C-alpha cells in the first residue's frame, strides 16, 4: 500500500474535471511527421489535444481534420 501522501488519485478527479461538471478528459499527444507526411502537413511535429481514450483510427481522423490533405 502507498502511504497517504503517495496515493495516486484515480478517475476524473486526477484530471481536474468531472463528467458531472461538464468537463472532458483529454490528453496531449505529440505527433511526429516524416517524409511526405511532413511535406503535406508543412511541419515535422505538433501536439494535439485528444480524448483520453482514443483508438489509432480515431487519432488518424483527428489528424485528417487538422490536415485535410492527408485524406
Query: What pTM does this model have?
Result: 0.63
Question: Averaged over 63-70, what is the pLDDT?
Answer: 95
Q: Which domains does the chain have, with CATH numbers?
A: 26-70 (3.10.20.30)
Question: What are the C-alpha distances in Å from 9 to residues 2, 59, 68?
Answer: 11, 26, 38
The three grid cell numbers given for residue 32, joined into one nine-digit string: 511526429
65, containing H or E segment: helix 56-66
pLDDT for 9-66, tens place per residue?
Answer: 444 444 444 444 445 799 999 999 999 999 999 999 999 999 999 999 999 999 999 9
Amino acid at each position: 500500500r502507498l502511504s497517504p501522501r503517495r496515493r495516486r488519485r484515480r478517475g476524473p478527479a486526477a484530471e481536474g474535471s468531472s463528467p458531472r461538471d461538464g468537463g472532458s478528459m483529454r490528453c496531449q499527444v505529440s505527433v511526429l511527421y516524416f517524409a511526405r507526411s511532413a511535406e503535406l502537413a508543412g511541419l515535422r511535429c505538433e501536439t494535439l489535444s485528444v480524448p483520453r481514450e482514443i483508438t489509432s483510427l480515431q487519432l488518424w481522423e483527428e489528424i485528417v481534420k487538422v490536415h485535410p490533405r492527408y485524406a
